[in-house]
Structure 1
């Protein structure tokens, strides 16, 4: 006997064991398929191949010896051999087919020889008891769903020889704790590590360029991710519901962040974007409850719908220079969002969805640009309390020289603080602000303030730390101005038509009373100088008179001498 034909013992459910003679060299497909009582078998050394389905659904098969001559194990060869606990694959084997050990629920360990080049699709699918497996350096690819639902697998080392890992390869490996992606792998496919609940750390190889959708979704204990420096895209839901993730630092290579990429990362506090990110997808950071602040890099062009929806602890954001659009409800529900720094080089107010900031208690706008995005945004008119301008480093599309003045802030009904640091040659226009108890702070020299800039303001404090003289009655024309402070280097007693109350010494950091006796001192000095001049003039007159008298006496004496000479 040299051959066992395909399906020879198919569904022979009463066979408990069988002895195959050594003369057999060929065993066909599904020869023992569904022999549900078969518990033990020895494959002779002369057999070279275990064909497709040869022991599929042998539910009682717990032990098997495979001869050294076997070089290939076919598809579904041991499919759902639910009692099989261990197996030794011969060192001569070069291939293991798809689903070869799929559904072997009792399989706890397996050694793969160095001769195997690849692990096929679903090769260990739902081997829920598999705890350890050694993948040799000969393996170059791991197929789709290869270890899908291997709940007990705690540790696996992927050798550097591997260049591809298929979709859902480690899907819901609930006990897997750490993973290092080899440097030759170029992509992390769809759902590769989906639902690996115990996975806490992962290091992504240097050749990985893309992380596909749901790659690490629901890795609820993931604490740390180390990205390679060639990753360019993060797919949809790639890290969503990674509840334990605290900090994410994205490499500069990343250009896009997909929708829901980090949604429901409840512990995420800090996200550092690379400097090449161009788009943040819809719902990308939706419900990141712990996120405190974000800086949108200057490379970002679009912020998608609901991108940061319901991040209740988010308190500040910086909108980068190239942002052109902010989608529906992008920051809606960010109840702690109070500070927005704006660097956009275009005024994109019309490209911001009307509900983009619904529920945000925005009270502070900080402009580092001459493109005054959000100044006219309807949602802020009754919220903003402070506005700061510091635009000396602005590189807006419109040249600074084309803009002559700051925008009017008179529509902000609750405005209390205006801070002006560096505005180059921009001026403050008429009807600049409106309201009561407004504090105005100007840190540096300013070119001009319109005389009626504050005509609708009750100013509680006006501070000017520049040194250049400001002309005009802009403070006198205000509704009121309670306190006026200037730099100690401002050499005048009035500003804007109002007397100065205090002067701030930048060296000592202290406030000083202005010297109001300067006028009196000048008057005294002038008076003394005038008196001295008068005294000098009087002395000169007296001197001239005395000189004239002496001259007259000399003339008289000379005349008398002549008379005497003429009458001896």
Structure 2
């Protein structure tokens, strides 16, 4: 069993994030302990007042029950806890932070309590819709995708479907919403979409082609980064802001189609030179 744990931890350490996030979480946990965070005996650390669950050791396993009166699950709290099976949260929880349960590959049950009013950047990266049970009126799971109640913000894709049609109500795709959905081949973005968040589609290796609606105003850093299969992107309009790293490490991206006469502007925004293997063309 110890050898199996070592193998899993080694894999997580190598592959979870471009920015060596696993290592940064270990360091962050050490700093939080030094700052007075308290271990509850399970390897889970809470703030001095006990209102915030700050972080868990990566070796935590089995079923965990969050302490009563806890109000917040902090950013990255259970990130990469590969042996965690389930998490039960009290009705006092009002916020679940960024990537709080990301990459918990053994997790089979986690609830969003009725009291939760705020979710950070995709707290559920790599999780399946069968794992997540939503009880909050502030959010809704529809067709295995998590939205805010109004369905204007897409928070988390909870399926490995090969094709996704995003509803016309969505104006913002949140950070990391589709990250690491490696089987996703086609996504239909709706007219009316205004923002594509940071890392929204990063590491979607099967994605081959994307059409960006004219309504999109902002594309945040790394929105489509490391999409190994991405070959063609078509812009129907001109966003007000495109991060230069939008298509970072998309090694097979051969053509970006833009509105007529706007090739120079897009090359400048994306830092693509005329000599680049990626061609910026107009139709």
Task: Measure the CA separation in 1 of the matches of 2:123 and 2:42.
Answer: 21
Match of 1:276 in 2: 192
- Could you report, residue by residue, the CA deviation over 1:208-266 in whole angstroms, capped at 9, with x for unpaired residues? 49xxxxxxxxxxxxxx543344365579xx88xx9967555545454444666655554
1:104 aligns with 2:42: yes
TM-score after normalising by structure 2: 0.53
Deviates more, 1:118-127 or 1:272-281: 118-127
Residues 255, 154 of structure 1: alpha-carbon distance in 2 compared, 3 angstrom cutoff? same
Q: For the Cα contact (< 8 Å) 1:324–1:351, is it kept in 2?
A: no
Q: Match for 1:353 among 260, 264, 267?
A: 267
Residues 259, 186 of structure 1: alpha-carbon distance in 2 compared, 3 angstrom cutoff? closer
Cα distance, 1:300 vs structure 2: 0.4
Task: Measure the CA separation in 2 of the matches of 1:348 and 1:249.
Answer: 28
Q: For the Cα contact (< 8 Å) 1:233–1:255, is it kept in 2?
A: yes
Structure having greater relative contact order (Cα 8 Å, sep ≥ 6): 2
Cα distance, 1:291 vs structure 2: 0.5
SS across alignment from 2:187: strand
Task: Measure the CA separation in 1 of the matches of 2:182 and 2:159.
Answer: 5
- Rg (Cα) greater in structure: 1
Q: For the Cα contact (< 8 Å) 2:96–2:118, is it kept in 1?
A: no
SS across alignment from 1:175: coil
Task: Measure the CA separation in 2 of the matches of 1:309 and 1:125.
Answer: 29
Task: Measure the CA separation in 2 of the matches of 1:255 and 1:278.
Answer: 5
- Could you report, residue by residue, the CA deviation over 1:301-340 in whole angstroms, capped at 9, with x for unpaired residues? 2445664455453344442345356554755756365684
Task: Measure the CA separation in 1 of the matches of 2:277 and 2:217.
Answer: 24
SS across alignment from 1:155: strand
Residues 124, 281 of structure 1: alpha-carbon distance in 2 compared, 3 angstrom cutoff? closer
Residues 122, 266 of structure 1: alpha-carbon distance in 2 compared, 3 angstrom cutoff? same
Q: Match for 2:138 among 181, 196, 207?
A: 207
1:179 aligns with 2:110: yes
Q: For the Cα contact (< 8 Å) 2:224–2:246, is it kept in 1?
A: yes
Task: Measure the CA separation in 2 of the matches of 1:320 and 1:292.
Answer: 17
Q: Match for 1:141 among 71, 84, 89?
A: 71
Task: Measure the CA separation in 2 of the matches of 1:155 and 1:313.
Answer: 34
1:230 aligns with 2:147: no
Match of 1:394 in 2: none
Residues 350, 283 of structure 1: alpha-carbon distance in 2 compared, 3 angstrom cutoff? farther
Residues 297, 184 of structure 1: alpha-carbon distance in 2 compared, 3 angstrom cutoff? farther
Task: Measure the CA separation in 2 of the matches of 1:146 and 1:266.
Answer: 22
Q: How many residues align?
A: 230
Match of 1:60 in 2: none
TM-score after normalising by structure 1: 0.31
- Could you report, residue by residue, the CA deviation over 1:68-102 in whole angstroms, capped at 9, with x for unpaired residues? xxxxxxxxxxx9xxxxxxxxxxxxxxxxxx84x62
Task: Measure the CA separation in 2 of the matches of 1:360 and 1:255.
Answer: 29
Q: For the Cα contact (< 8 Å) 1:337–1:360, is it kept in 2?
A: yes
Q: What's the RMSD between the two structures over aligned residues?
A: 5.1
1:300 aligns with 2:231: no
SS across alignment from 2:85: coil
Q: For the Cα contact (< 8 Å) 2:151–2:170, is it kept in 1?
A: yes
- Could you report, residue by residue, the CA deviation over 1:329-354 in whole angstroms, capped at 9, with x for unpaired residues? 755756365684x6x5x854442125
- Could you report, residue by residue, the CA deviation over 1:74-131 in whole angstroms, capped at 9, with x for unpaired residues? xxxxx9xxxxxxxxxxxxxxxxxx84x62336xxxxxxxxxxxx97333994495663
Q: Which has the higher strand share?
A: 2
Task: Measure the CA separation in 2 of the matches of 1:177 and 1:206.
Answer: 22
